[in-house]
Structure 1
Amino acid sequence: MPRLSRSWWDWLFAIAAIAGASVLVLISLHNFPSEAQPPQNRPIQSHVAGYVSSNACRSCHSGNYTTWHASYHRTMTQVATPDSLPQNMDQLQLALNGTEYKVEHRGDAFFVHKRREGASYGDGQQIVLVTGSHTLQVPWLETGQGRTLEQFPFAYIVAERMWAPVSQTFLIPPDIKEYYSIGAWNGACMDCHVTQGQSRFVEGNRWDSRVAEFGIACEACHSEGAEHIALNRNPLRRFKIHLTTRSDPSITNPARLKAPDSALDCGQCHSVWAFNSMTDKIDFNRQGSGFRPGKHDLAQRFVVQPNTQDHREQKDFIRRTEPDFFGNRFWGDGMVRVTGRELNGVQASPCFRGGQFSCISCHEMHLYPAESAALKTWARNGQLKPGMESDQACLQCHTDMTTRLVAHTHHAADSSGSRCYNCHMPNTTFGLLHAMRSHQVSSPTAREGTDYGRPNACNLCHLDRTLSWTAEKLHQWYNQPVPSLSQDDQTIAAAVQWLVKGDAGQRALLAWGLGWEPAQKIAGGDWFYPYLIYSLTDPYAAVRFDAWKSLQTLPGFANFSFDFTAAEGVLSEVAARAYEKWLRDVRSPSATYRPETLLDSDGRLQKDIFQRLQSERDDKRIILSE
């Protein structure tokens, strides 16, 4: 028998591997996960033309599947099961606005029974879906109207392991007791919480909603997989592509797209968008999104940038029909102020105009190696690439800054003031009960506070300094013009003004910001107590929540218990006790306070000035609902 050369053995092994992969592909296709007998009481995963689900990708792309499976994209929407819902659901009893709720566990299903106070519990409504798993989880109930869903009026705050009314887990005016109506998931939430959803409005309040896959799965970013799988049943084709450096044209790889198109892949969900026309809205409702990864626009939709000249007719229509639309989503200069809408910031960044900057400049959808511990950290940290939580995120492009960092920042190299993110992507967006970094790369100015209401990066660290101090530093270091400033801006710390007389969005950012460790180290936390305790009684529940969590970061209050959803009278009593605790047990008798903080030497607020600021509070209605 002739001896086979090493190259022949290599070919045989390659062919065997290809054949094995082909078998796995066929198996995965055979297991397409459309439900054999789909339930009638909720949206279903159904066959959508061209989509094959993540299960079909798993056999060939097991590493990618593993990293995706560990991400919060996967669990954006899940069918309600004992594994996907919070623990101890069967022991849950809650009350809100005169209605009591009790959860019953039957087999693998959970049912919510309701009753008005003093009456008997009615028949149960099954919990059929749950959205979220990272910060908040919101269950959705069957309604008896086909696949139409009703929101359970409580959300589970994951970090606190507590339930709270949904209306108090977003920054929403206190008079709004129920935020989402029946059918809201079908008509709105599913637009970004599933892969290729079809709302399919029927009539009245009835929907027949279907999805290619629950959660954000492979085909949301790579487009339909059916053609890709069919073509790659041919092992020779796969081997030929494997031997080249070109991408397989039958599937989209966002990493190989031009930066604007790659960013749009994320922005199909992570943006403030609107429909081009009513016709497009109806088509989106019936057929799902016409956008496919790799395309240059969102098809039936467009990304809403308030101050650009595109889509003027549509934006004028929005201004006429929804007067608060822009104010509830953008700062006065057009910078986005709600979380989850990062593409708006990316597109408005000078880096983006260079043509190379996109979401995956800093983030990645698949982490390698896919080790369990590393995956958990990666998922919690916004799927940042290794090293991208540091200055390296900016220095990968701005390489010249490496040698002149201190000259540029005017701060010590190891100072938080020399961290690129803190100055150029400060925490000025809000949602899901916390502040997040703006994704519009910008430079701090004093004018953004006076003209547009947005806290600037300098005063978000130097919480004890005035806006005038910031303006002078920016003029001295970067030759920025000093704007005309009020007497308060010259004498009262900017943070104090935003926290006391700002609008609800500003107050929420500062309530969170007083718990931010870099700011505490720079501004000192001794004077934070009275302001955080005062904020425990804010009309907006989200502000109260963040004031509570920030207060817990300060000495003496780590175990401070507080129900941020309590009635106004209870909140006032708890705040009064907390203030007395600080004065009696925590405050140092030798502590001194900068005059800009409005605290006297005994730690008490300067009453006349403080009350005047209170009377000037901006009480316009704000909805920052993410």
Structure 2
Amino acid sequence: MLVRQGLSYMIGLALLLGLSATGSATVSATASATVSATKASPAWVDESNCKSCHQQADQQWRNSHHAKALTPANNDHKLPLGELKATEQPAWLIGYEPLQQVLIANPDGRLQAHHLAFATEQQTWFDLYPEVADNPDHPLHWRQPVHLANTQCLSCHVSNYQTQYQPKTDTFASSWQQLGVGCQSCHGPAGNHQADGGGFELSLAASDQQLQVCAQCHSRRNELLPFQPNVGVHQQFLISPLRADLYEVDGKILDEVFEYGSFVQSRMHQAGVTCSDCHNPHSGELRAPANAVCSQCHNPAGTPKLIADTPRTIDFNKLQGQAFASPAHHFHPADSAGAQCVNCHMPGRVYMGNDLRHDHSFSSPNPAQALALEHSDACLGCHQDKPAAEVVAAFARWYPDAEPRDGGYAQALYRAREGLPGAAEGLLKQLQAGQQPAIRHAALLAELGHYPSLAAQQQVAAGLTHPDAWVRRAAIEVAPALFNPAWLMPQLSKLLADPELAVRMTAVEQLLAQDYPFKAAAEGAALAEYSELQQHHLGTAQGHYNQSLVAATLGFEAQVQHDLQAALQRNGHYIPALIGLAQWLEKSDTKAAQQLLVSAQQQQGEAAEIAFALALMLIRQGEMAAGLEQLQQTVALAPDNAHYSYVLAIALYDNGQHEAAMDRLRTALAQAPQQRHLRLALWQYSNDINERERLMEQLRQLNPFDPLINSPARY
């Protein structure tokens, strides 16, 4: 039955793509153009021939981190690999400085990134995950799929990487053209160039095109397609937005997000500065040492003297002539740490144990704002030995006219995320002004779901047709919180034909979440495109899980279960597939469904998502007491999750525990005052007129445009 159902499923997809049942004839133009390579694509070539014409570039590159991004573990590096070889066979070393991680080769072609890394400066081994080193079943243990280099790492450490997952045997035959990040990783395949000496298909002369190439790896992103030259990042990747768990509220890096997301927020980027204006693209080193790289532009004369190989179109109209590399500007002794531009304007964070990476938003210190908005600050970070008030006073004395240089962005975002008075007005003011970089505009738009109003709807509706993909993606994701499905679904359907792949796929996922039927031909083509993209990810649990969503939409029930089980075979800890399979089984075998979640909970006891899914299942099956117990456990595991607290409160109230329900809402609301549904639930449940008036007044201060302000009886 499963085989027959699978055949029907494939025929259904073929029909969506515009294929006949035999696989011939008319492929959808959109899907084909996106997923398939260009007809006359140049060939990838042996890069050892490049040096015959490009000797200087080759010599610079050979000593770079790019060249040494992946090297054989043959101990030419003189790493003390003995303790590893006793139990595992090191195959490759990933990275060069300040640390190298060992890839262990398995017979099935899997390359696993070992938890031990080598600190090159200290010449010592250290453990990246010491808390799980002795627990091979833990999701973060090096043997688990999260550390599978074939799908997680290698595409940014070699040229022309091909995953080559073999689904029939669950093995990998991964391959690449060149070890390390070579010429063609940035310039594209060189077959035509090598044949006639002409230019590449991909020109890096334009600032934005160069940035797009660097962003392929220097960004936090999910890969949609393997590297394709001549297409932008939104045609290949889902770049992570400025989420609170990834970036600080002022835009500086927080989690391991690399450089792109911070840089595109910067005034440098807005003026046309790009990567190679500061970095030699072949050696990776700075164009000039220390402050000299900054004084190319930021000098007393205000006259730019760029060292870059290619002339740039940079807007220097706002460039100020000033002696920035002077105690008169930075108020620190010359040659001290405080005199270095990078320490004040590009503060860094340490990742992977010892890897210092600098923020690229080129922010200016502001210790008073940092304390008020709870973000890091260069001054406070360096002078931790001094009281914060003393640092703030010194800064105010040195820079009495200093103002935040972001136009109020950080303050507006902070108020919105913290649920402070003026939150909605601050967001709308920023969005209506339209002065922020697109990635920041998207971050502001994403918060509007907590602050519904006609003006918020207008901003999100405009965002759906915004010229920038960042904003369109954000609008797609926040829109369900503000619009009814009757209006929204047709608008999202239009975006299935968006020119950017990332936007189309975001629209598909949002429509899948809304159980949209995808009946029109163009809609079916987009769904088929989404399904075809998952073929690139069948070595991961996520790829199979996404396929299950498509199968469910098409009505192929056996295929849904097959895909969910395949996802768990790739990664038994993948929570969306665990919950999805349990919910699917619940339709026919409630006992098996419940047992699946119980077993998962025993293995991943700290996963609140599993406890929550089990709680809802128990309640659906009429086991209210057991369900409430699981909801209590869920909230204990994730006390900051407002949705879990909300559901627990509703369940308590429906079970007659009214005071307990309201206490839960009060506690959750104190932790997350931006969560409108908590406030309205408490307002509805409370019999205390003073509390109800106070809640409505708080709502008015947060969002005076809320439709319930003038007609609370509608709730």
Task: Give the structure-1-normalised TM-score.
Answer: 0.49
Structure whose residues are more often strand by fraction = 1
Structure whose residues are more often helix by fraction = 2
